[in-house]
Chains A and B, each alone.
Chain A
Amino acid sequence: MSHEPRIGVYVCHCGVNIAGVVDVKRVAAEMASEAGVVLSREYKFMCSTPGQEMIIDDIQSHGLNRVVVAACSPRMHEGTFQGACRKAGVNAYFFQMANIREHDSWVTLDKEEATRKAIALTRAAVRRVRNHEPLETRQVEVRKEVLVIGGGIAGIEAALTVAESGNHVYLVEREPTIGGHMARFDKTFPTLDCSACILTPKMNAVGSHPNITLMTSCEVEEVKGFVGNFDVKVKRKARYVDHDKCTGCGACVEKCPVKVPSEFDEGLSKRKAIYTPFPQAVPNKPVIDRAACTYFRTGKCRLCERFCEPKAIAFEQQESTQEIQVGAIIVATGFEFYRGEALSWYGHGRYPNVITALEFERLNNASGPTEGVLRMADGRVPQSVAILHCIGSRDKNYQEYCSRVCCMYSLKFAHLVKEKTGAEVFEFYIDMRSPGKGYEEFHDRIREEGAHLIRGKVGEVTDLAVNPEEQGRLIVVAEDTLAGSRLRVPVDMVVLSPGLSAHRDSKVAQLLKCAVDKNGFFIEKHPKLAPVDTATDGVFLAGCCQGPKDIPDTVAQSQAAAAKALALATRGVVEAEGRTACIDPEVCAGCKLCVSLCPYKAISFDTAKEISVVNEVLCKGCGTCAAACPSGAAQARHFKDVHIFNEIEGVLAL
């Protein structure tokens, strides 16, 4: 606005919350003499309807063009009063709030001091608002398509939820099949449903859904754009099998002469060089493992090609890139089991009968390497099994956090061991954590089934026997902290229950400019109130990529993430932040310092004009560029130097 500032100041009593400590009349009176102030009032509850109407009336009858409310935190009511201003035809950014409740009346004992501070804080707001500028928010259209990264249960659920709404989904999975960890589990706690039985129908639904483009053996390579308008490059790895031609008959797999350890079975069984990871894989079509394939290694063989009737083998296939456009992205990249040195501390890799949870899952699985019979390395069925909780977890040397699921899956193991072998089971836990629907009851059930639940962290697993009973067995050395006694428990098999870790090799967070915590898990926008949002608008989180969680929580979060993505698509437009940065083309000298500092890559360098340019749709208004700009060309709107300087003068003026 070109005309002179005409400021209205309103000091709120907030009942007695402010007026009980601050002399609100004096604050209002002091403001009346500040330059540009047309009127200065105090009122019982500014946020009430009459309070807001007072502002609106004053704007209209006194021609106010700036408003200051001294009341609570702007985090509480900034939006309320901005709305009142807007209603009366004053730009929302001509409003400023002084926080004289949370930052003053509630924290200051002395009434005189509190009043002086209120005057200073309100004066700062008045001086600042004089130099405010009107800002506009712009609307940008949102694409309806959604990208889901990761094809475990989280990604599957999110993709199906979005697809069911009629919107299109791209599901990108880096492995040759979807299914993730859940496809490898035997049973699920606490209901003991067969994991595959409940998962595979969902996998098939993904594979055949008209609204889902399934992209396996693919990785996201580049993400550009912003909420509602992401341009994504997806790299498709060469599979050497033309999936359009392949019928999935399996003749090639049968004929392939090469055998290598199966990743799906944790190396406990063999697969071929041309393979489908497991029988219910989706898509159920094979890929060639280039590193293992005899043809790729020696130039000879091509047996698979000879036996492939539909001529689907494509040795010449190259890696390719596909570009897709989406409006929202759901990250469902999952987790990996902890694989660090705490495992070898307990003898994994050294004693053949010390196995990990995932190995146990596969050994116990009817479609696993032993067809569901729990065997030791020598083929015998164990008579006693120890299950060790918290491997690598709750330990400052490895992972400080609790992975939430290990107690429960370990209890599940106890049940499965009992059920299948009748062996004696010893569970060593630090604390038993069973906070979930039916979880505590499951815990009781396992205890009643006769598992020995021993509270104590295991010191070591050794084969050094000190008596004949221990001879030839694994001895678990621990302290029973409830009984206060030291234990040596000889067993045939030890199952290590490691915690969950973030993917160490994933560059997804970086591509999406999402922050990860010190453990590598994605950081949600707010731990309580925005658990599936991220700081990057339009990017949502589902499942264990955000932190360890069980299947019910994962599925719930996936549906929530899908709902957030759909809410965005349904709204159809996004409002871009008004308090963005801008770079004055008349001032910028083109030093390029700001370009790399922007966390959102919102600044680019215009090589023709030799100046930096802000993409205001990408900008989130953090102001880092404005702070770093040496020539003063980059400015943070609403937080310009002049505004901050005005505030500093104001808060120090009394």
Chain B
Amino acid sequence: MTNDPKIVAFLCHWCSYTGADLAGTSRIKYTPAVRIVRVMCSGRIEPSFVLKALKEGADGVLICGCHPGDCHYQEGNYKALRRFHMLKEMLGQFGLEGDRVRLEWVSASEGDRFAKLADSFTEEIRRLGPLAWKRVGNESERRVA
């Protein structure tokens, strides 16, 4: 149980977070591995959030926003989309499997889809194995903080 993957999901308030709420009110069961952090708009999500999550021990990161055209703030999800693709490319240079960070559009009505997505993404991360980024460098070489 404790060896289960840990996944941080960044959800926009208006669509995806509401969609996740709907999964709850519909009592759809899904993995507890996915831990949700709310932002007002996926346009607020920046690469440093993803890096921070990976560094703090997340095995995968999920980014969710409104479907294209539905952004509450007009265009924020497109900004998230561009940052995601650029970041993903760079993460490859750090040896990160492309599937560890994922972006999906989830609308406020897609509670069921969010639950399924949480499960399938967790399964994918389980397959990739733990990331354990905290263990970067050699403890004997580093200063003990």
Touch between chains A and B, by CB atoms below 8 Å: yes
Asked if B24 is at the interface of the complex by the 8 Å CB criterion, the answer is yes
Residue contact A651 to B40, C-beta cutoff 8 Å: no
Determine the distance from Cα of A73 to Cα of B43 in the docked complex, in whole angstroms: 22
Instruction: Give min CB distance, B35 to chain A, whole Å.
Output: 4
Binary CB contact string for chain A from 204 to 240 against chain B (1 if under 8 A, 0 otherwise): 0000000000000000000000000000000000000
Asked if B6 is at the interface of the complex by the 8 Å CB criterion, the answer is yes
| Also in contact, A102 and B35, with CB within 8 A (given A599-B73, A648-B56) | no
Among A75, A104, A121, A622, which residue has the most Cβ atoms of chain B within 10 A? A622
Asked if A112 is at the interface of the complex by the 8 Å CB criterion, the answer is yes
Residue contact A644 to B37, C-beta cutoff 8 Å: yes
| Also in contact, A627 and B83, with CB within 8 A (given A102-B24, A621-B40, A647-B37) | yes
| Also in contact, A623 and B43, with CB within 8 A (given A75-B21, A648-B52, A652-B56) | yes
Interface members, chain A 85-117 (any B CB < 8 Å)? 99, 101-104, 106-110, 112-114, 116-117
> Looking across the interface, which residue of chain B has its beta carbon closest to that of A101?
B24
| Also in contact, A120 and B35, with CB within 8 A (given A107-B115, A627-B79) | yes
Asked if A633 is at the interface of the complex by the 8 Å CB criterion, the answer is no
> Looking across the interface, which residue of chain A has its beta carbon closest to that of B53?
A648
Residues of chain A within 8 A (CB-CB) of B36 are: 99, 103, 121, 651
Q: Which of A61-69, A389-397, A511-519 contacts B (4 or more CB under 8 A)?
A: A511-519
Asked if A489 is at the interface of the complex by the 8 Å CB criterion, the answer is no
> Looking across the interface, which residue of chain B has its beta carbon closest to that of A104?
B32
Residue contact B45 to A627, C-beta cutoff 8 Å: yes
Instruction: Give min CB distance, A223 to chain B, whole Å.
Output: 15
Residues of chain B within 8 A (CB-CB) of A112 are: 1
Determine the distance from Cα of A622 to Cα of B28 in the docked complex, in whole angstroms: 29
Asked if A355 is at the interface of the complex by the 8 Å CB criterion, the answer is no
Asked if A502 is at the interface of the complex by the 8 Å CB criterion, the answer is no
Determine the distance from Cα of A75 to Cα of B30 in the docked complex, in whole angstroms: 21
Residue contact B39 to A639, C-beta cutoff 8 Å: yes
| Also in contact, A641 and B48, with CB within 8 A (given A99-B36, A110-B32, A649-B56) | yes
Asked if B23 is at the interface of the complex by the 8 Å CB criterion, the answer is yes
Among A107, A647, A649, which residue has the most Cβ atoms of chain B within 10 A? A107
Interface members, chain A 532-559 (any B CB < 8 Å)? 535
From B23, B37, B44, A651 is in contact (CB under 8 Å) with B37
Residues of chain A within 8 A (CB-CB) of B44 are: 622-624, 626-627, 636, 639
| Also in contact, A116 and B32, with CB within 8 A (given A103-B20, A624-B79) | yes
> Looking across the interface, which residue of chain B has its beta carbon closest to that of A108?
B32
> Looking across the interface, which residue of chain A has its beta carbon closest to that of B18?
A75
Residues of chain B within 8 A (CB-CB) of A513 are: 74
Asked if B64 is at the interface of the complex by the 8 Å CB criterion, the answer is no
Residue contact B35 to A117, C-beta cutoff 8 Å: yes
Residues of chain A within 8 A (CB-CB) of B102 are: none
Residue contact B32 to A113, C-beta cutoff 8 Å: yes
From A74, A116, A517, B69 is in contact (CB under 8 Å) with A517
Residues of chain A within 8 A (CB-CB) of B105 are: none
Residues of chain A within 8 A (CB-CB) of B76 are: 599, 622, 624
Determine the distance from Cα of A639 to Cα of B38 in the docked complex, in whole angstroms: 9
> Looking across the interface, which residue of chain B has its beta carbon closest to that of A112?
B1
Residue contact B69 to A515, C-beta cutoff 8 Å: yes
Asked if B46 is at the interface of the complex by the 8 Å CB criterion, the answer is yes
Determine the distance from Cα of A621 to Cα of B76 in the docked complex, in whole angstroms: 11
Determine the distance from Cα of A69 to Cα of B74 in the docked complex, in whole angstroms: 31
Binary CB contact string for chain B from 64 to 84 against chain A (1 if under 8 A, 0 otherwise): 000001111111100100010
Instruction: Give min CB distance, A465 to chain B, whole Å.
Output: 48
Residue contact B38 to A74, C-beta cutoff 8 Å: yes
Residue contact A624 to B73, C-beta cutoff 8 Å: yes
| Also in contact, A652 and B53, with CB within 8 A (given A107-B30, A517-B69, A626-B44) | yes
| Chain B interface residue bracket vs A | 35 or more
Asked if B130 is at the interface of the complex by the 8 Å CB criterion, the answer is no
Instruction: Give min CB distance, B94 to chain A, whole Å.
Output: 18
Determine the distance from Cα of A622 to Cα of B39 in the docked complex, in whole angstroms: 8
Determine the distance from Cα of A645 to Cα of B37 in the docked complex, in whole angstroms: 10
Residue contact B56 to A622, C-beta cutoff 8 Å: no
| Also in contact, A624 and B41, with CB within 8 A (given A523-B70, A599-B76, A648-B8) | yes
Instruction: Give min CB distance, A618 to chain B, whole Å.
Output: 12
Residue contact A627 to B46, C-beta cutoff 8 Å: yes
Residue contact B32 to A623, C-beta cutoff 8 Å: no
> Looking across the interface, which residue of chain B has its beta carbon closest to that of A73?
B21
Asked if A620 is at the interface of the complex by the 8 Å CB criterion, the answer is yes
Residue contact B52 to A599, C-beta cutoff 8 Å: no
Residues of chain A within 8 A (CB-CB) of B143 are: none
Asked if B29 is at the interface of the complex by the 8 Å CB criterion, the answer is yes
Residues of chain B within 8 A (CB-CB) of A636 are: 40, 44
From A106, A623, A644, A647, B41 is in contact (CB under 8 Å) with A623
Determine the distance from Cα of A517 to Cα of B49 in the docked complex, in whole angstroms: 30
Residues of chain A within 8 A (CB-CB) of B40 are: 579, 621-623, 636, 639
Binary CB contact string for chain B from 12 to 37 against chain A (1 if under 8 A, 0 otherwise): 01000110110111011110100111
Asked if A597 is at the interface of the complex by the 8 Å CB criterion, the answer is yes
Asked if B101 is at the interface of the complex by the 8 Å CB criterion, the answer is no
Instruction: Give min CB distance, B121 to chain A, whole Å.
Output: 15
Asked if A56 is at the interface of the complex by the 8 Å CB criterion, the answer is no
Asked if A475 is at the interface of the complex by the 8 Å CB criterion, the answer is no
Residue contact B8 to A652, C-beta cutoff 8 Å: yes
> Looking across the interface, which residue of chain A has its beta carbon closest to that of B28?
A107
Asked if A385 is at the interface of the complex by the 8 Å CB criterion, the answer is no
| Also in contact, A518 and B69, with CB within 8 A (given A641-B48, A644-B49, A648-B37) | yes
Residues of chain B within 8 A (CB-CB) of A117 are: 32, 35
| Also in contact, A107 and B48, with CB within 8 A (given A621-B40, A623-B41, A644-B37) | no
> Looking across the interface, which residue of chain A has its beta carbon closest to that of B35?
A651
> Looking across the interface, which residue of chain A has its beta carbon closest to that of B118?
A107
| Also in contact, A107 and B8, with CB within 8 A (given A99-B36, A622-B43) | no
Instruction: Give min CB distance, B71 to chain A, whole Å.
Output: 7
Asked if A249 is at the interface of the complex by the 8 Å CB criterion, the answer is no
Residue contact A107 to B69, C-beta cutoff 8 Å: no
> Looking across the interface, which residue of chain B has its beta carbon closest to that of A638?
B40
Asked if A303 is at the interface of the complex by the 8 Å CB criterion, the answer is no
Residues of chain A within 8 A (CB-CB) of B27 are: 106-107
Residue contact A597 to B29, C-beta cutoff 8 Å: no
Determine the distance from Cα of A104 to Cα of B57 in the docked complex, in whole angstroms: 20
Residues of chain B within 8 A (CB-CB) of A517 are: 69
Determine the distance from Cα of A513 to Cα of B83 in the docked complex, in whole angstroms: 23
Residues of chain A within 8 A (CB-CB) of B83 are: 627
Asked if B106 is at the interface of the complex by the 8 Å CB criterion, the answer is no
Additional 12 contacts, C-beta under 8 A, given A624-B79, A626-B46: A107-B28, A107-B115, A113-B32, A114-B32, A121-B35, A597-B79, A599-B74, A622-B40, A627-B79, A641-B48, A648-B8, A649-B56
6 contacts between A and B (CB under 8 A): A104-B32, A108-B29, A517-B69, A623-B40, A624-B41, A651-B35
Residues of B in contact with A (beta carbons under 8 Å apart): 1, 6, 8, 13, 17-18, 20-21, 23-25, 27-30, 32, 35-41, 43-46, 48-49, 52-53, 56-58, 69-76, 79, 83, 115
Which 8 pairs across A and B sit closest by C-beta, in order of nearness? A102-B24, A623-B44, A622-B73, A624-B43, A651-B35, A622-B41, A627-B46, A599-B74
